[in-house]
Amino acid sequence: MTLLFYSNWRNADRWFGALKKELPDLDCREWPDGVGNKKDIEYALVWNPERGLLKSFPNLKAIFSLGAGVDHLMKCDLPDDVPIVRLVDPALTVGMSEYVLYWVLHFHRRFGDYRRYARKARWKPLPQVIPKRRRVGIMGLGVIGTDAAKKLKALDFDVAGWTRGHKNLAGVPTFDGKEGYRDFLARSEIVVCLLPLTAETQGILNAEAFRRMPKGAVVVNAARGGHVVDDDLIAALDSGHLKAAVLDVFHEEPLPPTHPFWKHPKVTVTPHMASLTVPETAAKPVADNIRRIRKGQPPEPVVDRQRGY
């Protein structure tokens, strides 16, 4: 029972220690120097592997993503008959909800305005809006989006969700499809993107989308940089139609030092840290799926390659 680890995060030792606690007999090998005989490799735990690499392991039984997203795998020329398994880790979900809640509260309570006033030694209490009158929109109601929506609802925010296909969520109005997207944007003062990146969602946050948001709306993108058309966002901010944007993900990472987002007064940049994978908790769902495969059961959740997530 042998697993290949491929990542540029340089945390193989933490992963191997956590996996060994779950599966003491697991043989863990790191790419590229520790691979050994490629015929030994049965499982691959990877982030952004070299194109075509995973086709070189003839006995591969499953490909595990090191993060919640799988778009990095969709471009890698993978073996057709090997399941791709998404990482669903409660700690990863909690971390993302923390990020979303923080920024929703930040803009809801206008802490950015207070920070600017404080720098000028200006004492100015601002009108306070009750949460049920603050309309928050969550794009994407998978495991992470659903968790964030429920926690915002528990704080009494007026939360709605949008998905490509119809989905019900108790207590949360949901919109779907192109027509629903327009209505969703029109009612959302704080728009949070937690969508998977697919051909259909590439560039979904564009000039048209920003125009449909209420004047003074805020955008928080913690999904993938490909969802945002950068120039359109800057134009919407410069025009005053959008108040602010918080961006954790970008088309190119690390974000180049010359990119205008760094110095834009209405943009907050965070370095793809909204929720980081923690090996000590994420090893369990990986190990559980290896146990399932060894029992002849399918792993879960498996990526639908046609949908891209």
What's the 3-state SS for the chain?
Answer: CEEEEECCCCCHHHHHHHHHHHCCCCEEEECCCCCCCHHHCCEEEECCCCCCHHHHCCCCCEEEECCCCCHHHHCCCCCCCCCEECCCCHHHHHHHHHHHHHHHHHHHCCHHHHHHHHHCCCCCCCCCCCHHHCEEEEECCCHHHHHHHHHHHHCCCEEEEEECCCCCECCECEEEHHHHHHHHHHHCCEEEECCCCCCCCCCCECHHHHHHCCCCEEEEECCCHHHECHHHHHHHHHCCCEEEEEECCCCCCCCCCCCHHHCCCCEEECCCCCCCCCHHHHHHHHHHHHHHHHCCCCCCCECCCCCCC
Cα 177 from Cα 162, distance rounded (Å): 8
Fold agreement between 2-89+277-294 and 90-269? yes
pLDDT at residue number 301: 96
Write the class of the CATH domain 2-89+277-294.
alpha beta
Q: Which residues of 9-31 are buried (b: 16+ CB within 10 A; e: fewer)?
A: eebbeebbebbeeebeebebbbb
In 3D, which of 52, 61, 2 has the Cα closest to residue 29? 2
62, β-bridge pairs: 43
Amino acid identity of residue 119, one-letter, is R
Contact by Cβ (8 Å): 64, 72: no
pLDDT at residue number 10: 79
Cα 165 from Cα 176, distance rounded (Å): 6
Cα 196 from Cα 52, distance rounded (Å): 23
Q: Which position among 224, 241, 305, 307 bears the catalytic label?
A: 224
- Rounded to the nearest 10 degrees, the angle between the axes of helix 111-119 and helix 90-108 is 60
- CB neighbour list of residue 207: distance below 8 Å, 6 or more residues apart: 229, 232, 235, 236
Delimit the domains of the chain by residue range.
2-89+277-294, 90-269
pLDDT at residue number 9: 83
Neighbours of 4 (CB within 10 A): 26
Rg of the chain over Cα atoms, rounded to whole angstroms, equals: 21
Q: Is 224 a catalytic residue?
A: yes
Angle CA 220–250–117, to nearest 5 = 45
Cα 28 from Cα 26, distance rounded (Å): 6
Q: Is 272 a catalytic residue?
A: yes
- List of the chain residues with pLDDT < 70: none
pLDDT at residue number 64: 98
Q: Which position among 166, 272, 292, 305 bears the catalytic label?
A: 272
CATH of domain 90-269: 3.40.50.720
